[in-house]
């Protein structure tokens, strides 16, 4: 039975590991959505990266259920390119440990690591794509920069809105959206997933022209 399952996976385009990727001769991408594990943090502002990965996985028919690299991951293709979808389970502030482990295992170039995460400087549902940049106060990105040793990796920022003046930042990003904002965010997750596909299949410039500043 296991042999039949392995054959079906290969027919569907899912790799068994590094050797198959190298023999294929194609570039490998990692798309990592940031968030915090456990039900306690589901659907919070800080977990929008996880939700984008869920939408992308559904669009591509990828199961993000394999455990490795201190996270959950799944394998598939976008535009003919082999792709790893990754949800680090290290908690946000240690996201770099998971991303680095996957990048080292598959020997992925830093410019082929796409990070999706929340941004309080953007309006709810607004997207911004960048090919490099600083952490901008985001601890998950700060940790990824430390582990990768570079700021030069592409990212998709998903706006969650600025915090109220009297509210603590940690409390705000760990809170959930209002019913109205949640509806907006559902559209943003879909657009962010489309942006990932365009970045890989057509290039970051086209994705930036299409999605930057757009609000779902």
Q: Find, among 32, 29, 36, 28, the residue nearest to 192 by Cα.
A: 32
Choose which CATH entry (3.90.226.10, 3.40.50.1470, 1.10.10.10, 3.30.830.10) describes domain 27-211: 3.40.50.1470
Active site residue 46: yes
Whole-number CA gyration radius for the chain: 17
Has 72 been labeled as part of a binding site? no
Dihedral (Cα; 139, 141, 142, 146), 10-degree rounding: 140
Q: Which of 46, 112, 138, 147 is catalytic?
A: 46
Question: pLDDT 10s per residue in the chain (216 long)?
Answer: 445 444 444 434 444 344 344 444 445 999 999 999 999 999 999 999 999 999 999 999 999 999 999 999 999 999 889 999 999 999 999 999 999 999 999 999 999 999 999 999 999 999 999 999 999 999 999 999 999 999 999 999 999 999 999 999 999 999 999 999 999 999 999 999 999 999 999 999 999 999 997 676
Has 143 been labeled as part of a binding site? no
Distance CA 14, CA 20 (A): 10
Has 105 been labeled as part of a binding site? no
Has 41 been labeled as part of a binding site? yes
């Amino acid at each position: 039975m296991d042999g039949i399952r392995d054959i079906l996976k290969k027919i569907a385009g899912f790799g068994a590991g590094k050797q198959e990727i190298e023999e294929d001769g194609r570039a490998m991408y990692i798309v990592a959505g940031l968030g915090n594990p456990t039900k306690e943090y589901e659907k919070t502002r800080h977990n929008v990266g996880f939700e984008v990965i869920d939408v992308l996985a559904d669009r591509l028919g990828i199961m993000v259920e394999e455990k490795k690299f201190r996270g959950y991951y799944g394998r598939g293709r976008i535009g003919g390119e082999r792709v790893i979808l990754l949800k680090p389970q290290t908690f946000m502030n240690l996201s770099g440990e998971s991303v680095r482990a996957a990048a080292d295992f598959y020997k992925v170039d830093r410019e082929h690591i796409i990070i999706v995460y929340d941004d309080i400087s953007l309006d709810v549902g607004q997207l911004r794509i960048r090919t490099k940049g600083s952490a901008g106060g985001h601890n998950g990105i700060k940790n990824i920069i430390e582990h990768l040793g570079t700021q030069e990796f592409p990212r998709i920022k998903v706006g969650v809105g600025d915090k109220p003046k009297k509210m603590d930042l940690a409390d705000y990003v760990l809170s959930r959206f209002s019913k109205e904002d949640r509806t907006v965010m559902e559209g943003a997750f879909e657009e962010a997933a489309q942006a990932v596909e365009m970045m890989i299949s057509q290039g970051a410039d086209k994705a930036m022209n299409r999605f930057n500043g757009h609000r779902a």
